[in-house]
Every structure is written in structure tokens, then in C-alpha cells.
A and B are shown apart, each in its own frame.
Chain A
Amino acid sequence: QKEVEQNSGPLSVPEGAIASLNCTYSDRVSQSFFWYRQYSGKSPELIMSIYSNGDKEDGRFTAQLNKASQYVSLLIRDSQPSDSATYLCAVSWSGTYKYIFGTGTRLKVLA
């Protein structure tokens, strides 16, 4: 059973729209959650981290965490063609050094 799951996409949204990316995970104690962006041929780049339930905003990005439902999401407002990339969700569990990644969701922002 996978521990972190994402829809592989592609998710296509028009320029200026809100892109919504979702991630579900298996239940463990005290998790930490991360969103990464990866352009083709490049390494993953950290966008946001979130550690407690609720929303966390950073510029055009908002991470949402719901531990009861075991999901974490990333909203990208005013999507731009430059946001076209694969978005990776990662989860880490308290007391471990492991970061487990989902397969990623490919986002296409159409100009």
C-alpha cells in the first residue's frame, strides 16, 4: 500500500485560474508535509511546508492540511504558464528521518 498518493494528471488549467493539487497519505503520528515543484530535467524545489491543520499562505500559493481526513492540498492562484511543472507531495513522520514522496501531479497552465 502506497503511503503518499497523488493523481498523476496532467491537470490543465487556463492562465489566471486557480490550480488545485491534492495529496493523501497513510495515517501516522505527528506528520510534517511538504510541496515541491519539479521542472522537467531539474531537481525538486521546495515551495511550502505545513505542519498543523488549516491553511498556510505564501504569495500565490496556499497549502491546506486536514489531518482528520488525511489529505494535504496546494492551491496556486493566478496560475501562470511558468507554473507548468510536476508538483510533488512529501510526508515525514515524527521520529523518523524519512521523507516519502508521491508520484507527483503534472500541471499544465494554458496561455
Chain B
Amino acid sequence: ETGVTQTPRHLVMGMTNKKSLKCEQHLGHNAMYWYKQSAKKPLELMFVYNFKEQTENNSVPSRFSPECPNSSHLFLHLHTLQPEDSALYLCASSHFKGGNTGELFFGEGSRLTVL
């Protein structure tokens, strides 16, 4: 079992569909992240959860809705997306201790195409 697993790996959806991305980490970490990676742009932080509490929401449109039921699982619910939302969505986890962040580990990513 790899450290951070994401499903599905590829997703094609229409603008009116509702879908969800799933992430699970097996590293015993206490923080989980969603990043968006578009062509020619740096990785964009979307959401951060620490101990299941959302600590960051980087001005992400409400058509993206995160859910973190426990420290090992993270979801990204998608609805009414736009074609410009097509990107690679990366889940990551780290261990936050003593005020410092440890190393960040990524899943394989979910490649999303919005038609």
C-alpha cells in the first residue's frame, strides 16, 4: 500500500455533473491537503486540514467542497465545474508537530477534465 492513495486517477465530467475525489493516507500524518496543478502554473494550495479541522481555504470557489471525516481520509466534492477547472488535483499529507511542518508527501493525483 503506497503512502497516499487517490481515486479516481482520471475523471471526465460535464459541467452539470457531481463527482468526488477521494484520498487516503497510510503514513500516520495529522495534516492533509488538496493542491491544484494547472499547466504553466505553480502548485496552488486549495485546502488544508489539521486533525480534521479545516485550517486553510485559499479563496477556492464554492463549487469545490472538501470533507475530512478523519485524519486519514480526505474528499473533494465537485459540482457545476467549469472547463478551466480541468487540472491535476493532488492530495498530500504531512505531520505537523511542535509548530513545524514535516515533509509533504503526495498521492498520484487525479486528472480531471471538465467538458
Contacts and interface: CB of A to CB of B under 8 A. Distances in A.
Nearest to B50: A97
Interface residues of A, number: 24
A88 B104 CA distance: 13
B96 A88 contact: no
B101 A100 contact: no
B61 interface: no
Interface residues of B toward A: which range?
20 to 34
B23 to A, nearest CB: 12
A34 B101 CA distance: 11
A45 B3 CA distance: 12
Classify the interface of chain B: helix, strand, loop or mixed. Answer: strand
A96 interface: yes
Contacts of A97: 31, 33, 48, 50, 55-56, 94, 96, 101
A100 B104 CA distance: 11
Interface of A: 4, 30, 32, 34, 42-46, 49, 88, 90, 92, 94-104
27 contacts: A4-B42, A30-B100, A34-B103, A34-B104, A42-B108, A42-B109, A43-B90, A43-B107, A43-B108, A44-B43, A44-B106, A45-B106, A46-B103, A46-B104, A49-B103, A90-B104, A95-B99, A96-B101, A97-B55, A97-B56, A97-B94, A97-B96, A97-B101, A99-B33, A101-B42, A103-B40, A104-B42
